[in-house]
């Protein structure tokens, strides 16, 4: 789709009038001079790589752009003078109280999710949980029993048969009953015979035929529609997790020479 | 869908379905809320939404409520819609219950909801026990947060029925064909709105931008993509630029947001615009820089004494700044604080198209659209490319639609027609879709869960139902048999074994298919612990034996 044309970055700084894109060629000498020991990791493989230091700086900058307020503030819920609307007398269930008193941020929840992700498939009132049904996939199980002393949150990759891990998994989900992990990848759903067809129920029969319809020069080719089974399968796929849904950095963008020009120009 | 039909069969015993539905599009910046009911026609009245005495008419338009707690420099705390009473936004700080697009902090959200919906003097007062709820969430939410949400809705607020769905889904219930540059009026007002057959929805909001392909109103989950650029990031980036170059605006992001909304646009030709706003080297200032070829604008900042709102005007190089005015003896009232915006106007929204400008390792929206399509069979591409709809606040940025259409067209196969549309008000479009859905009581009851069902089947069942992957059962089965199968499918094995009883006396013809279905859906789709599998096998064989 892009005809094989590759833009080539030139390292020559243009002295032409007007502004110019200037490729950023690595770290400044003054910076590396201060840390000669870290020269290796600050060495650039190609023009578009960034060093660890640059990466850290960029990430810090992005985290700053993600903040809600410039300073850390906490706005407590204002003390309420209960009107006699009746809601004041309302008694919350323990689960609700737990949710309301939780001060977890999204990042905390995401960490929890990633640690517990593959350990179980369902969470119900009783601790019904099991490893994924596809034993082919290596099961990553959070084992609170092992390695606790070192790193609490490190997922342990176990290659043993999942049946062995059931008790551990149940325990995990019982101790944190709120943690609902994602489901295992299901097999393609069977198309139900009585299910209504998708995308083929249009009532009108299309435009009236035209004498030129059969003309080889005028005929338009459209790709064939996928079958019902394929569409069913598409729609039955489970949601991706938060991290999986993050849009990637495509190769075309990576090779774009002027990608970080604005940023670097504005930063310096 | 099974549970709904069962409920309608047992209607005389259970509570009647709620007559009103509260639709909450719970955005991170604002929540869009209002009521809809099947009886009301969409061409109702046209009273102002905020009229004080009569209940607000929100049939066609929701109330847009800031979804935050805010504290100004006088330490006054505003909850939700109270923010409209605020007169001084200087140094105001916010606490938002929605973090990264997902409802995280229920302590704050409960306060806001109570203030808006449940308190006696609430602007949109309702009794949850007599009201249904449609609540939106961002796609790819964490299961834990979804469970929290379900629990709060039923256990704390006690809504009569509840449908939780991803926000993009609801847009399919709008009449999307009227939203493209050359609209095709198709809507038959008499008939309930069917979800759009095929739609690629781009939702660019405060926290992030998501791309969701929808077939018949159902998302293709494997193709949903997210770009972590939203209105908040753009505002913060503009704040950074302004603070570096002009005034320190870091404590006034509310104000910067207004600057952004008033001034920013998406450039049609980035290189040309950069050229026009280039200052030139020292001693060789460029002539065009003064006005930037019309790009340079002045934003007059509010002083919160005489002016509570800022405004934009064309840049006048001759007009002096406040300091100059004061030194030349002008009165303090006449002097103005001015921000002059040049390339800030277009480099900020440019991040939506080139996130690498700020070092973010993600592709821009057009490429992510193609990336999302790459997960979909090629045969559906023409349909999706011809039906791209943009909602969310960023769709209002000037030039956004043009640029998006241009770039997608450049990336798409040449044979495909690319149409990019935007609703009249992209901010409330999701809500309007929800309102359209709520008018069709039948469709909504199939999707939603009643409080009774929640109490019977539990949170996991509800979560699975909202996942859209419910077990479809033949309708001829008797209720007890159906119920057993449902429970089997949704997880409460104990209840299933208790309830198995005599099995189904009817339909010997169907047992084969049903058994196959249980086999496939329950045992492969769903991983059970060994003891539960044994139980379920027992149950399954009991069912087969009975036939």
Domains and CATH numbers, chain B: 20-174+426-452 (3.30.420.40), 231-349 (3.90.640.10)
Q: Hey, what are B293's tokens?
A: 């070829």
Residue contact B529–A170, C-beta within 8 A:
yes
Q: Which residues in chain A (60-79) have CB-CB distances under 8 A to chain B?
A: 61-62, 64-71, 73-75, 77-78
More confident residue, B334 or A174: B334
C-alpha torsion B104→B108→B109→B115, nearest 10: 180
Residue contact A240–B140, C-beta within 8 A:
yes
Exposure b/e, B428-462, CB count within 10 A at least 16 = b: bbbbbbbbbbbbbbebbbbbbbbbbbbeebbbbbb
- Residue A5 touches partner B, C-beta closer than 8 Å: no
Q: Max Cα separation, chain A?
A: 80
Q: What does the mean pLDDT of chain A come to? A: 60
Taking the C-alpha atoms of residue A14 and residue A11, their distance in angstroms, rounded to an integer, is 9
Whether B30 and B67 have beta carbons less than 8 Å apart is answered as yes
Q: Which of A137, A224, A146 lies closest to A184, judged by CA?
A: A137
SS3 track for B341-389: ECCHHHHCHHHHCCHHHHCCCCCCHHHHHHHHHCCCCHHHHHHHHCCEE
The torsion angles phi and psi of B420, rounded to 5 degrees, stand at: -120, 125
Closest partner CB to B142 (pick from A103, A113, A261): A113
Q: Which residues in chain A (181-220) have CB-CB distances under 8 A to chain B?
A: 181-184, 186-187, 189-190, 192, 194-195, 198-199, 202, 220
Show Cβ contacts of residue A200 under 8 Å, excluding neighbours closer than 6 positions: A225, A228
**Residue B200 Cα, gap to closest chain A Cα (Å):** 14
Closest partner CB to A110 (pick from B142, B274, B381): B142
Show Cβ contacts of residue B426 under 8 Å, excluding neighbours closer than 6 positions: B390, B391, B392, B393, B395, B396
- Give the model's pLDDT for residue B455: 83
- Which residues on A lie below 8 Å from B377 (Cβ)? 226, 230, 234
- Give the model's pLDDT for residue B467: 77
Taking the C-alpha atoms of residue A74 and residue A140, their distance in angstroms, rounded to an integer, is 37
Taking the C-alpha atoms of residue A191 and residue A27, their distance in angstroms, rounded to an integer, is 58
The torsion angles phi and psi of B446, rounded to 5 degrees, stand at: -70, -30
More confident residue, A49 or B227: B227
Report the chain B residue with the minimal C-alpha distance to residue A256: B356
A165 to A118, A157, A162, B259: CA distances (angstroms): 12, 11, 5, 56
B400 to A255, B218, B484: CA distances (angstroms): 24, 26, 52
- Residue A234 touches partner B, C-beta closer than 8 Å: yes
Q: Hey, what are B30's tokens?
A: 């604002």
Residue contact A124–B491, C-beta within 8 A:
yes
Pairing mode, strands B30-36 and B63-66 = antiparallel
Q: Hey, what are B50's tokens?
A: 């905020």
Count A/B contacts: CB-CB distance under 8 Å.
Answer: 292
Terminal alpha carbon distance of chain A: 35
Residue contact A83–B216, C-beta within 8 A:
no
3-state secondary structure of B243: helix
- Asked if ipTM goes beyond 0.95, one says no
C-alpha torsion A117→A119→A125→A126, nearest 10: 180
Q: Which of B489, B460, B456, B457 lies closest to B472, judged by CA?
A: B489
Exposure b/e, B203-217, CB count within 10 A at least 16 = b: bbbbbbbbbbbbbbb
Residue contact B363–A250, C-beta within 8 A:
yes
Residue contact B155–A125, C-beta within 8 A:
no
Closest partner CB to A18 (pick from B118, B278, B468): B278
- Residue A22 touches partner B, C-beta closer than 8 Å: no
Q: Hey, what are B69's tokens?
A: 């707690």
Instruction: Concatenate the DSSP letters of all residues of B138-155 into one string.
Output: -SS--HHHHHHHHHIIII
Q: Which of A241, A198, A237 lies closest to B221, judged by CA?
A: A237
Q: Hey, what are B335's tokens?
A: 């002097």
Closest partner CB to A262 (pick from B107, B110, B347): B347
Residue contact B215–A237, C-beta within 8 A:
no
The torsion angles phi and psi of B201, rounded to 5 degrees, stand at: -105, 125
Residue contact B215–A93, C-beta within 8 A:
no
Q: Hey, what are B86's tokens?
A: 């605020």
Sheet containing strand B161-166, edge to edge, reads B63-66, B30-36, B20-26, B131-137, B161-166, B449-450
Residue contact B118–A183, C-beta within 8 A:
no
- Which residues on B lie below 8 Å from A75 (Cβ)? 69-71, 77, 93-95
Instruction: Concatenate the DSSP letters of all residues of B476-528 into one string.
Output: TS-HHHHHHHHHHHHT-HHHHHHH-TT---S-TTTHHHHHHHIIIIIIITSPP
- Which residues on A lie below 8 Å from B468 (Cβ)? 235
- Give the model's pLDDT for residue B240: 92
Residue contact B224–A240, C-beta within 8 A:
yes
Task: Give, for all 547 residues of chain B, the pLDDT tens digit.
Answer: 344 444 443 334 345 567 788 999 999 999 999 988 876 544 333 333 443 333 444 457 888 999 999 998 888 899 988 888 888 888 899 999 998 999 999 999 999 998 888 888 888 888 888 889 999 999 999 888 998 999 899 888 889 899 999 999 999 888 877 888 776 666 555 555 677 788 899 999 999 999 999 988 888 889 999 999 999 999 999 999 999 988 888 888 899 999 999 999 999 988 888 888 888 787 777 777 777 778 888 898 888 877 888 888 888 777 666 566 666 666 655 667 888 888 899 999 999 999 988 888 899 999 999 999 998 888 888 889 988 999 999 999 999 999 999 999 999 888 888 889 999 899 999 998 988 888 888 888 888 888 888 888 777 778 878 876 554 444 455 555 555 555 555 554 444 444 444 444 444 444 455 555 555 555 444 444 444 444 444 444 444 444 4
Residue contact A124–B368, C-beta within 8 A:
no
Closest partner CB to A231 (pick from B151, B215, B529): B215
**Helix runs in B114-230, H state only:** 143-151, 167-171
C-alpha torsion B390→B392→B393→B394, nearest 10: -40
Taking the C-alpha atoms of residue B447 and residue B147, their distance in angstroms, rounded to an integer, is 17
Residue contact A77–B69, C-beta within 8 A:
yes
Residue contact A246–B532, C-beta within 8 A:
no
Residue contact A239–B527, C-beta within 8 A:
no
Closest partner CB to A99 (pick from B106, B525, B530): B106
- Give the model's pLDDT for residue B25: 92
**Residue A33 Cα, gap to closest chain B Cα (Å):** 24
Whether B58 and B49 have beta carbons less than 8 Å apart is answered as yes
Report the chain B residue with the minimal C-alpha distance to residue A108: B104
Report the chain A residue with the minimal C-alpha distance to residue B248: A70
Exposure b/e, B236-263, CB count within 10 A at least 16 = b: bbbbbbbbeeeeebbbbbbbbbbbbeeb
């Amino acid at each position: 789709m892009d005809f094989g044309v590759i833009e080539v970055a030139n390292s020559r700084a243009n002295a032409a009038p007007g502004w110019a894109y200037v490729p950023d060629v690595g770290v400044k000498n003054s910076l590396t001079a201060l840390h000669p020991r870290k020269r290796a990791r600050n060495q650039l493989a190609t023009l578009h790589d960034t060093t660890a230091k640059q990466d850290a700086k960029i990430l810090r900058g992005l985290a700053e752009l993600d903040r809600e307020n410039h300073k850390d503030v906490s706005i407590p819920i204002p003390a309420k003078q209960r009107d006699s609307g009746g809601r004041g007398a309302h008694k919350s269930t323990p689960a609700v109280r737990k949710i309301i008193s939780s001060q977890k941020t999204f990042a905390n929840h995401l960490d929890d999710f990633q640690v517990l992700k593959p350990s179980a498939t369902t969470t119900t009132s009783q601790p019904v949980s099991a490893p994924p049904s596809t034993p082919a996939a290596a099961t990553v199980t959070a084992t609170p029993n092992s390695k606790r002393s070192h790193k609490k949150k490190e997922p342990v990759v176990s290659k043993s048969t999942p049946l062995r891990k059931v008790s551990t998994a149940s325990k995990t989900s019982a101790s944190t009953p709120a943690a609902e992990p994602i489901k295992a990848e299901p097999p393609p759903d069977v198309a139900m015979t009585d299910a209504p067809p998708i995308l083929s129920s249009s009532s009108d029969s299309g435009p009236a035929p035209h004498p030129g319809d059969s003309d080889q020069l005028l005929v338009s080719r459209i790709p064939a529609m996928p079958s019902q089974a394929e569409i069913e399968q598409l729609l039955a796929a489970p949601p991706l997790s938060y991290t999986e849904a993050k849009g990637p950095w495509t190769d075309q963008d990576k090779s774009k020479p002027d990608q970080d020009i604005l940023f670097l120009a504005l930063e310096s | 869908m099974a549970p709904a039909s069962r409920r309608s069969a047992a209607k005389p015993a259970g509570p009647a379905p709620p007559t009103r539905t509260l639709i909450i599009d719970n955005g991170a910046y604002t929540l869009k809320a209002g009521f809809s009911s099947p009886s009301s026609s969409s061409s109702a009245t046209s009273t102002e939404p905020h009229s004080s005495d009569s209940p607000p008419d929100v049939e066609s338009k929701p109330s847009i409520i800031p979804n935050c707690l805010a504290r100004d420099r006088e330490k006054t705390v505003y909850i939700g819609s109270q923010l409209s009473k605020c007169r001084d936004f200087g140094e105001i700080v916010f606490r938002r219950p929605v973090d990264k697009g997902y409802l995280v902090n229920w302590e704050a959200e409960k306060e806001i909801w109570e203030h808006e919906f449940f308190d006696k003097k609430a602007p949109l007062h309702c009794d949850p026990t007599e009201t249904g709820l449609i609540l939106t969430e961002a796609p790819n939410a964490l299961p834990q947060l979804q469970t929290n949400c379900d629990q709060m809705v039923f256990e704390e607020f006690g809504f009569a029925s509840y449908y939780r769905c991803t926000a993009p889904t609801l847009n399919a219930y709008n009449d999307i064909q009227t939203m493209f540059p050359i609209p095709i009026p198709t809507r038959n007002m008499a008939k309930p709105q069917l979800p759009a057959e095929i739609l690629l929805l781009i939702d660019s909001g405060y926290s992030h931008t998501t791309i969701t392909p929808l077939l018949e109103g159902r998302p293709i989950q494997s193709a949903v993509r997210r770009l972590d650029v939203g209105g908040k990031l753009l505002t913060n980036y503009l704040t950074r630029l302004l603070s570096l170059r002009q005034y320190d605006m870091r404590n006034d992001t509310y104000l910067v947001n207004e600057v952004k909304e008033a001034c920013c646009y998406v450039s049609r030709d980035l290189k040309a615009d950069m050229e026009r706003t280039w200052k030139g080297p020292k001693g060789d200032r460029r002539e065009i820089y003064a006005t930037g070829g019309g790009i340079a604008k002045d934003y007059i900042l509010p002083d919160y004494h005489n002016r509570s709102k800022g405004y934009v005007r064309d840049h006048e190089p001759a007009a002096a700044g406040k300091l100059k005015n004061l030194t030349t003896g002008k009165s303090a009232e006449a002097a103005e604080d001015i921000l002059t915006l040049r390339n800030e106007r277009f480099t900020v929204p440019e991040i939506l198209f080139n996130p690498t400008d700020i070092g973010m390792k993600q592709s821009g929206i057009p490429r992510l659209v193609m990336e999302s399509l790459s997960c979909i069979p090629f045969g559906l591409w023409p349909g999706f490319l011809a039906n791209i709809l943009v909602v969310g606040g960023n769709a209002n940025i000037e030039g956004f639609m043009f640029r998006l259409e241009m770039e997608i067209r450049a990336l798409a196969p040449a044979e495909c027609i690319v149409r990019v549309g935007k609703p009249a008000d992209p901010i409330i479009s999701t809500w309007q879709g929800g309102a359209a859905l709520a008018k069709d009581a039948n469709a909504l009851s199939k999707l939603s869960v009643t409080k009774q069902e929640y109490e019977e089947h539990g949170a996991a069942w509800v979560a699975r139902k909202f996942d859209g992957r419910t077990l479809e059962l033949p309708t001829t089965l008797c209720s007890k048999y159906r119920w057993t199968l449902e429970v089997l499918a949704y997880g409460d094995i104990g209840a299933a074994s208790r309830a198995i009883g005599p099995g189904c006396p009817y339909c010997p013809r169907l047992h084969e298919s049903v058994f196959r279905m249980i086999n496939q859906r329950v045992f492969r789709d769903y991983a059970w612990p060994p003891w539960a599998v044994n139980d379920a096998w027992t149950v399954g064989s009991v069912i087969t034996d009975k036939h």
